[in-house]
């Protein structure tokens, strides 16, 4: 039932996935008990599906129950505990509770660093998430500082040509732009790399092209913006076709 629910989720059949996961959770509680690790995993999975459905408050309520139980049963530095804290932090962002999100993500980052070290991919991901929350708060200096570290560490871990490099460069470019750095150079590099790594029709490439087009409009480079928008429309048409 769990595996079928996962398949339904990845098919985009979220209502069917949620119904199955609700049944899985009920049966798991009956068989294994409220505090078994498999029960907590079932709650975590159901919360993820609720979030994908836009049922953010229901997802957060489940995660609020999962996190303390994970800490109690598995310890506060266990990977499953840290993942649950990260997910709850992201749901707090969706709820607009940014201070709570920062506190959760900051704690998760500290524990991840203690458990896995400063340069582990999970640590870098936690840094990236915290930077994103800072950006949402308008704390652009803090966000940029973290994102610069993330980009440097991503290059050390993956090299220059990895999808996570594209994402990190894009995040940094957005933050720089909000800080008033009116340059298209970084965003143009993101498009170039994303085309190389992901291909022309990949969602990451299309998003990066949209960002560059917006930058061109703001800079008054109207013809370049229009040309890029035409390319975007063509690529989106090919993708849909």
> What CA–CA distance (Å, rounded) separates 218 from 79?
43
Say what angle helices 37-52 and 2-10 make with each other, to 10 degrees: 20
Q: Please check whether residue 55 is in contact with residue 76, taking contact to mean a CB–CB distance below 8 angstroms.
A: no
pLDDT tens for each residue of 166-207 = 999 999 998 998 898 877 888 899 999 999 998 988 988 999
Is 224 among the domain residues? no
Please name the residues in contact with 103: beta carbons below 8 A apart, sequence gap of 6 or more. none
Is 26 among the domain residues? yes
- What CATH number is given to the structural domain containing 3? 1.25.40.10
What does the DSSP 8-state code read for residue 78? S
Q: How many domains is the chain partitioned into structurally?
A: 1
Is 157 among the domain residues? no
Residue 158 has pLDDT above 80, yes or no: yes
Is 13 among the domain residues? yes
pLDDT tens for each residue of 210-236 = 989 989 998 999 999 999 999 988 888
pTM of the model: 0.81
For residue 16, the enclosing domain spans 1-94+101-114
Is 140 among the domain residues? no
Is 168 among the domain residues? no
> What CA–CA distance (Å, rounded) separates 59 from 43?
9
Q: What angle do CA 197, 204, 159 make, to 5 degrees?
A: 40
């Amino acid at each position: 039932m769990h595996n079928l629910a996962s398949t339904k989720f990845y098919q985009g059949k979220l209502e069917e996935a949620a119904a199955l996961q609700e049944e899985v959770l009920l049966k798991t509680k009956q068989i294994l008990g409220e505090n078994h690790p498999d029960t907590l995993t079932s709650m975590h999975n159901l919360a993820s599906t609720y979030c994908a459905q836009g049922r953010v408050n229901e997802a957060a309520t489940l995660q609020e129950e999962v996190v303390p139980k994970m800490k109690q049963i598995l310890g506060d530095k266990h990977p499953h505990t840290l993942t649950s804290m990260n997910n709850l932090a992201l749901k707090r962002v969706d709820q607009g509770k940014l201070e709570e999100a920062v506190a959760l993500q900051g704690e998760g980052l500290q524990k991840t660093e203690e458990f896995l070290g400063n340069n582990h991919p999970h640590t870098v991901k936690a840094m990236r998430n915290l930077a994103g929350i800072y950006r949402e708060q308008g704390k652009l200096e803090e966000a940029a500082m973290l994102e610069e570290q993330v980009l440097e560490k991503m290059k050390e871990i993956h090299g220059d040509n990895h999808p996570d490099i594209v994402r990190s460069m894009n995040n940094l470019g957005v933050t720089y732009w909000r800080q008033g750095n009116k340059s298209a150079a970084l965003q143009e590099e993101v498009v170039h790399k994303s085309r190389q790594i992901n291909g022309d029709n990949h969602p990451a490439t299309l998003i990066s092209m949209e960002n560059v087009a917006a930058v061109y409009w703001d800079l008054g480079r109207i013809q370049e913006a229009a040309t890029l928008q035409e390319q975007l429309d063509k690529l989106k048409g090919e993708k849909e076709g």
